[in-house]
Amino acid sequence: MALEDPTTPSAGGARPGRRAMLRGSLAASAALSLPAMSCAAPAQALRGRPEAKWGVQAGDVTTSSGLVWVRSDRRARMLVETSATESFRNARRWKGPVLGPGTDYTGMTSVRGLPAGEQVHYRVTLSDPDHPRRKGEPVHGTFRTAPDRRRQDVRFLWSGDLAGQGWGINPDRGGYPIFEEMRRLDPDFFLNSGDTIYADGPIVEKVELPDGKIWRNVTTEEKSKVAETLAEFRGNFRYNLLDEKLRRFQAQVPSIVQWDDHEVLNNWYPGEILDDDRYTVKDVDTLAARSLRAFSEYHPLTTLPPKDEDGRVYRVVHHGPLLDVFVLDMRAYRTANSPGKQEDDTQGILGAAQLKWLKKELSRSRAVWKVIASDMPLGLVVPDGKTDFEGVAQGDPGKPLGRELQLAELLRHIKRQRITGTVWFTTDVHYTSAQHYEPSEAAFKDFEPFWEFVSGPLNAGGFPALKLDGTFGPRQSFIKAPTKVNVPPSEGGQYFGQVDIDGESGEMTVRLREEGGAVLHTKVLQPGRVGQ
């Protein structure tokens, strides 16, 4: 399998004619030192000027807007400036919120009225709200707005599963090196497909490997046990921001973020009561509410408030005429994990309200490609214990049962509404693969063929391949997975995917990539065509 130079255009690397990456100011921002292994909340008695030591992020970028995120080391007012150039001539100013203990000193500012398809430079300055002239050093970032014309190319990356199975920030590997590889590809955005933290996975200082070598971890107090309190969940999200490569990546590449199970704990579902001696809090709904609050504080996204909920993760992000991204939440509305043999299951894995929303939004979309960001794969059989199942598939290749009923309803809707361009992207299983779903080979046949691509992990243990469930006729065209359980990142097996949409033809090229530079598999999809 040949290695590629990521700057080679034919290999899907950096594209000629793209605007240059932010250089001096971005590098300076990324190099900010963090408090030495301490993730404790800022003390109000701190003197001096506010500092943004955890970097900056942007998210949910559209043709004319974006969300800018920062965290302060104390109470501070957030000020954002945007400009078309790094010199910040003719900059626009945006007055953000006062950051305080109620949000763990994090905050977001929405910047609007931006030009479509252009590079936007921004800088965030924190000031003492009681003494506005007392300001910290500005921290710089950049993002590209979505194009409003079809002829402009789009590139995005996707992956998930960060700091899992006890494999944390290892200084011997340079932290999280995969983020530097992804940054050099200069994508328009990164689809972070879940398991953004491992709240149920403590990080210890040293792990002895089977060959006798030692894996070293950066450790913090909050990562020394499973997360139960709001402070511990917040500390899990702060932990990853200790990595300089991740901070540099986030300062350059905006994100679309979803969650999965490990933001709370492995294989959780609403209403679950724990039988786990590591936890004093046994009510999973309580843990999930605390995690969702911290998740919403530490990522640049807007949780939408439907009438019957405090907020939600599922949403659609419009990225110009070529692309809509439908971000699913397969965690917060699911039924309890079970053998999955129910003849009737209206709740399923999405919940009735989310399924109704998804069908409606897919029908309304006029984008060439409708990317469905699924935090769990569809046809892979993911077990939960000896008899229960964690995902959609439950190992029975016959007619749809249990959670499969919702997928059948969705696929039937897509066919009957003649919705074209749906492609599924997912992570969760800690290996990479490509599956084509073909009705002629399926037990359930009332759908049009489609593709599902799997990637990840970013920095977590690798796991062997799972079986396929034949209900929807998946055929694997590519797979790469370890043969052992919990293979450390130092032995390889860290993956991300790259998607390029050509502005002229609308053609989508999907590449499955491995840390180290290899492109493992490439698939080219044509717009408006079924059965590819």
Using pLDDT thresholds of 50, 70 and 90, give the confidence band for residue 528.
confident
Query: Count of alpha carbons within 13 Å of 201, Cβ hemisphere only?
Result: 23
Using pLDDT thresholds of 50, 70 and 90, give the confidence band for residue 11.
very low
Q: Is the pLDDT of residue 3 over 90?
A: no
Q: Is the pLDDT of residue 437 over 90?
A: yes
Q: Are strands 474-480 and 315-318 parallel, antiparallel or unpaired?
A: unpaired
pLDDT greater at residue 28 or residue 280: 280
**C-alpha dihedral sign at 197, 201, 205, 209:** negative
> Where are the domains positioned within the chain?
9-144, 159-525
Using pLDDT thresholds of 50, 70 and 90, give the confidence band for residue 531.
low
pLDDT for 305? 54
pLDDT for 206? 97
pLDDT for 311? 74
66-71 β-sheet, strand order: 106-111, 66-71, 56-59, 255-257, 189-192, 154-159, 495-501, 508-514, 519-525
| 3-state SS assignment for residue 259 | coil
Global pTM reads: 0.92
Share of the chain above pLDDT 90, in %: 87
Q: Is the pLDDT of residue 44 over 80?
A: no
Architecture of domain 159-525: 4-Layer Sandwich (3.60)
Q: Which residues, other chains included, contact 17 with Cβ-Cβ below 8 Å and sequence gap of 6+?
A: none
Tell me the per-residue pLDDT of 201-218, one tens digit each, with 9 for 90 and over.
Answer: 999 999 999 999 999 999
The domain over range 9-144 is classified in CATH as 3.10.110.10: no
pLDDT for 310? 61
Tell me the per-residue pLDDT of 404-427, one tens digit each, with 9 for 90 and over.
Answer: 999 999 999 999 999 999 999 999
pLDDT for 32? 40
SS in 3 state form for 53-82?
CCCEEEECCCCCCEEEEEECCCCEEEEEEE
Q: Is the pLDDT of residue 36 over 50?
A: no
Tell me the per-residue pLDDT of 110-120, one tens digit each, with 9 for 90 and over.
Answer: 999 999 999 99
Using pLDDT thresholds of 50, 70 and 90, give the confidence band for residue 48.
confident
The arithmetic mean of pLDDT across residues 7-17, rounded, is 41
d(CA 34, CA 128): 20
* Bridge partners of residue 143, in order along the sequence: 120
| 3-state SS assignment for residue 491 | helix
Phi, psi of 433 (to 5 degrees): -160, 170
CB 433 within 8 A of CB 418: no
| 3-state SS assignment for residue 446 | coil
The arithmetic mean of pLDDT across residues 37-53, rounded, is 66
d(CA 73, CA 207): 31
Tell me the per-residue pLDDT of 260-288, one tens digit each, with 9 for 90 and over.
Answer: 999 999 999 999 999 999 999 999 999 99
pLDDT greater at residue 11 or residue 329: 329
Closest CA to 297 of 71, 73, 110, 103: 103
Share of the chain above pLDDT 70, in %: 89
Q: Is the pLDDT of residue 124 over 90?
A: yes
CB 106 within 8 A of CB 298: yes
d(CA 319, CA 316): 10
Q: Is the pLDDT of residue 529 over 60?
A: yes
pLDDT for 302? 78
Tell me the per-residue pLDDT of 477-517, one tens digit each, with 9 for 90 and over.
Answer: 999 999 999 999 999 999 999 999 999 999 999 999 999 99
Q: What is the mean pLDDT of the chain?
A: 91
The answer to which of 9-13, 224-228, 415-419 has the lowest mean pLDDT is: 9-13
**C-alpha dihedral sign at 429, 434, 437, 442:** negative
pLDDT for 21? 37
Q: How many CB atoms lie within 10 A of CB 410?
A: 19
pLDDT for 312? 87
